[in-house]
Amino acid sequence: AQSVTQPDIHITVSEGASLELRCNYSYGATPYLFWYVQSPGQGLQLLLKYFSGDTLVQGIKGFEAEFKRSQSSFNLRKPSVHWSDAAEYFCAVGHTGTASKLTFGTGTRLQVTL
Amino acid sequence: EAQVTQNPRYLITVTGKKLTVTCSQNMNHEYMSWYRQDPGLGLRQIYYSMNVEVTDKGDVPEGYKVSRKEKRNFPLILESPSPNQTSLYFCASSPLGQGNQPQHFGDGTRLSIL
């Protein structure tokens, strides 16, 4: 069965510092991989996705993620964090078959200090 | 404006009293799904629908029903709610295509079952 691990429950960074959020997945084939962001009281917003091709994926709000098959990872990065990036971030893996199933990680809460 | 609209946003009710959470999208998406979000567990899929009259179980379907009579609507029905269904619920939609994974989320419905 597919699974996603986000090992960091809570991360605090200073505004302007770089950010990396970790995501490891377990899936038998090449997965579809996603990062979502959830601001307080809001639904989830898709930041970026990986289906195939270039392993470095660019998303919205200046985020990027790199798919590393050898490490089963899909870490999210941002070179310079803004206070408005404070939110909860979810990594998810999707089936590559016809079933439309997403499995989410448990999330990483990002706090940004000024 | 592209939207997934859930109602109600908040509901407190009692055990056994049937309730329906509505979900409507205005993007003509074929795929819709329901998730519940619980602390430390991330989001878990309850049910999903690939199109009108086509629904299937997700990871945690027990105690829930869905229907898809129209393309835009995908209500979640709790026939006999119990306290363990107290949670934050999200509806999501996306067009059919690569992965079919949800691209648009509603703002959530917080249910409290006493």
| Residue-wise pLDDT tens digits, B54-68 | 999 988 999 999 999
Residue of B nearest to A7 (CA): B40
The answer to whether the CB atoms of A43 and B90 lie below 8 A apart is: yes
Torsion of CA A99, B71, B41, A70, to 10 degrees: 40
Predicted confidence at residue A38, as pLDDT, reads: 94
Nearest to B33 among A41, A100, A105 (CB): A100
Percentage above 90 pLDDT, chain B: 79
Candidates B42, B106, B108; nearest CB to A104: B42
- Contact criterion met (CB < 8 Å) for B108 and A43: yes
Q: Residue A94: pLDDT above 90?
A: no
Mutate to test the interface with B, among A2, A102, A103, A106 (most CBs of B within 10 A): A102
Tell me: pLDDT of A101 over 90.
no
The predicted pLDDT at position B10 comes to: 96
In whole angstroms, what is the distance from residue A82 CA to residue A37 CA? 14
Contact B98 A32 (CB under 8 A): yes
What sign for the dihedral angle of Cα A101, B99, A76, A69? positive
Give the pLDDT confidence of A25-84 residue by residue, as tens digits. 998 777 889 999 999 888 899 999 998 888 999 999 999 999 999 999 999 999 999 999
DSSP helix/strand/coil, A112: strand
Residues of A with CB under 8 A from a CB of B: 4, 32, 34, 36, 41-46, 49, 51, 90, 92, 94-96, 99-107
pLDDT in tens, A15-27: 999 999 999 999 8
pLDDT at position A99 over 70: no
At A4, is the pLDDT very low, low, confident or very high (cuts 50, 70, 90)? very high
From residue B29, alpha-carbon distances to A40, B3, B51, B96 in Å are 26, 11, 8, 7
How confident is the model at residue B55, as a pLDDT?
94
Predicted local confidence at residue B77, as pLDDT = 98
Q: Is the pLDDT of residue B100 over 70?
A: no
Give chain A positions within 8 Å (CB) of B108: 41-43
Query: How high is the pLDDT of residue B1?
Result: 83
Of B31, B43, B100, Cβ closest to residue A104: B43
Q: Give the residue with greater pLDDT, B19 vs A1.
A: B19
Band (B40; pLDDT cuts 50, 70, 90): confident
Q: Between A97 and B17, whose confidence is greater?
A: B17
- At residue B26, does pLDDT exceed 90? yes
Q: Where do the DSSP E strands lie in A1-107? A: 3-5, 10-14, 19-21, 24-26, 32-38, 44-50, 56-58, 64-68, 73-78, 87-94, 102-104
| Mean pLDDT of chain B, nearest integer | 92
How close, in Å, is residue B78 to chain A by CA atoms? 21
